[in-house]
């Protein structure tokens, strides 16, 4: 079995998390770390992963098969295109890009180069979510009618005020790019491409420049609806519920997915049957990356398609517009 060699680009909180997650993987291993910050490189030095300050080093290294982008999202499109042109496969953290045009250019570069693309939507790989997806595929809940989700946390309260994640220019609609975008991806994976969005963004309990409280309503061509909530100033909350004509399924996270304590699932059916099950902790972040590596090696397909990635960015762009205008916006 061939091991895929990866360069982790961006060694901040999430890049370090991914490098640590893959330390003992036999499917994809980090061999190079990239960050312009001296302190971050020093913090990661000393192990099996070589560190450098230049992205160009990763692109020119014949030992690197894939770049894993853990960089600010306003850099993603340019970095993806450069990687594709260098013949490197690309795994990009969310959001993939911030505009339709950026995502289209990046995906076209990937397609033209014949390389594989993956995205950091690890919630798709949680066992409880995969079980819900299977129920929907089998029609076990009847006609899907409504998706409800909330992914809130207070991790950003410890960030310095000048951190790019809190900037209205560099990270517009902060709760969306931080957590809400994962729920948008799940809704797309279950209901398809949205056609309209309405969003309300507020700063109610912090001085974050890009908001701390977000509510989004997505409308789908079928008539189904998704409601998404994301708050950046409350203890962790994770919940996904799909309501169908013949039953509903709710998934509740016990802890932040970064260090999962598992999921509690309740399924209620029209005949009165109620099923409750606990799914134990599972490394969904690692599973996502290993499934991506498997797709490169041809062992199994990667479930998040380029179309899904484009739909997600299109919806992201529409949500940002709606948060600014206060109006219903087309996707």
Structure confidence by residue, pLDDT tens digits, 167-182: 999 999 999 999 999 9
Inform me whether the pLDDT recorded for 46 exceeds 90.
Answer: no
Question: Global pTM?
Answer: 0.95
Length of the chain: 331
Inform me whether the pLDDT recorded for 214 exceeds 80.
Answer: yes
Architecture of domain 4-119: 3-Layer(aba) Sandwich (3.40)
Among the residue ranges 5-9, 199-203, 297-301, the one predicted with the least confidence is: 297-301
pLDDT tens profile 56-102: 999 999 999 999 999 999 999 999 999 999 999 999 999 999 999 99
Instruction: Provide the total of helices (H) and of strands (E) in the chain, helices listed first.
Output: 10, 15
d(CA 202, CA 229): 12
The residue ranges of every structural domain in the chain are: 4-119, 123-330
pLDDT tens profile 217-229: 999 999 999 999 9
Superfamily of domain 123-330: Dihydrodipicolinate Reductase; domain 2 (3.30.360.10)
- Tokens for 180, please give them: 């809400």
Inform me whether the pLDDT recorded for 48 exceeds 90.
Answer: no
- Tokens for 229, please give them: 């909530």
pLDDT tens profile 124-135: 999 999 999 999
Cα torsion 186, 190, 192, 198 to 10°: value is -50
The structure tokens 């990937």 sit at 110
Whether residue 212 contacts residue 233, with contact meaning beta carbons closer than 8 Å, is answered with yes
Residue 259: the pLDDT is 85
Looking at residue 140, the DSSP 8-state letter turns out to be: T
Whether residue 32 contacts residue 25, with contact meaning beta carbons closer than 8 Å, is answered with no
Residue 47: the pLDDT is 80
Residue 1: the pLDDT is 63
Residue 45: the pLDDT is 83
Q: Smallest Cα–Cα separation from 157: which of 72, 215, 235? A: 235
Instruction: Give backbone dihedrals phi and psi of 314, rounded to 5 degrees, phi first.
Output: -60, -40
**28 DSSP β-pair partners:** 4
d(CA 238, CA 229): 10
The structure tokens 């895929």 sit at 4
**In terms of DSSP bridges, do strands 247-253 and 237-244 run parallel, antiparallel, or are they unpaired?**
antiparallel
pLDDT tens profile 6-32: 999 999 999 999 999 998 999 999 999
d(CA 104, CA 120): 18
| Mean pLDDT along residues 235-262 | 95
Inform me whether the pLDDT recorded for 147 exceeds 70.
Answer: yes
Sheet strands (E) in the chain:
4-9, 28-34, 50-52, 66-69, 89-92, 117-119, 144-152, 196-202, 213-219, 225-231, 237-244, 247-253, 263-269, 274-279, 329-330
Residue 2: the pLDDT is 84
Q: Classify 148 as helix, strand or coil.
A: strand
**Number of Cβ within a 10 Å radius of residue 64:** 22
């Amino acid at each position: 079995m061939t091991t895929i060699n990866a360069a982790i680009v961006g060694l901040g909180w999430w890049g370090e998390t991914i490098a640590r997650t893959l330390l003992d993987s036999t499917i994809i291993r980090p061999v190079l770390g990239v960050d312009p910050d001296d302190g971050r490189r020093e913090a990661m030095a000393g192990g099996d992963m070589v560190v450098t300050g230049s992205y160009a080093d990763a692109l020119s290294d014949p030992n690197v098969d894939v770049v894993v982008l853990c960089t600010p999202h306003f850099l993603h499109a340019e970095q993806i295109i450069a990687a594709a042109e260098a013949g490197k496969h690309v795994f990009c953290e969310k959001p993939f890009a911030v505009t339709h045009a950026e995502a289209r250019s990046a995906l076209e570069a990937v397609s033209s180069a014949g390389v594989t693309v993956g995205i950091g939507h690890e919630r798709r790989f949680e066992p409880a979510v995969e079980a819900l997806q299977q129920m929907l595929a089998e029609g076990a809940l009847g006609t899907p009618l409504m998706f409800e989700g909330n992914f809130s946390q207070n991790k950003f309260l410890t960030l310095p005020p000048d951190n790019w994640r809190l900037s209205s220019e560099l990270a517009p609609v902060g709760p969306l790019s931080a957590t809400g975008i994962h729920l948008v991806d799940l809704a797309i994976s279950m209901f398809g491409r949205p056609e309209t969005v309405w969003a309300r963004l507020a700063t109610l309990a912090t001085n974050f420049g890009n908001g701390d409280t977000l509510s989004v309503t997505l409308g789908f061509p079928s008539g189904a609806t998704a409601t998404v909530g994301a708050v950046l100033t409350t203890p962790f909350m994770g919940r996904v519920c799909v309501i169908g004509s013949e039953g509903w399924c709710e998934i509740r996270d016990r802890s932040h997915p970064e260090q999962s304590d598992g999921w509690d699932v309740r399924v209620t059916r029209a005949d009165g049957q109620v099923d409750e099950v606990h799914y134990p902790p599972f490394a969904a972040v690692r599973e996502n990356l290993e499934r991506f590596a498997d797709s490169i090696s041809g062992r199994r397909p990667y479930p998040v398609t380029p179309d899904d990635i484009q739909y997600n960015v299109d919806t992201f762009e529409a949500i940002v517009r709606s948060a600014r205008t206060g109006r219903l916006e087309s996707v």
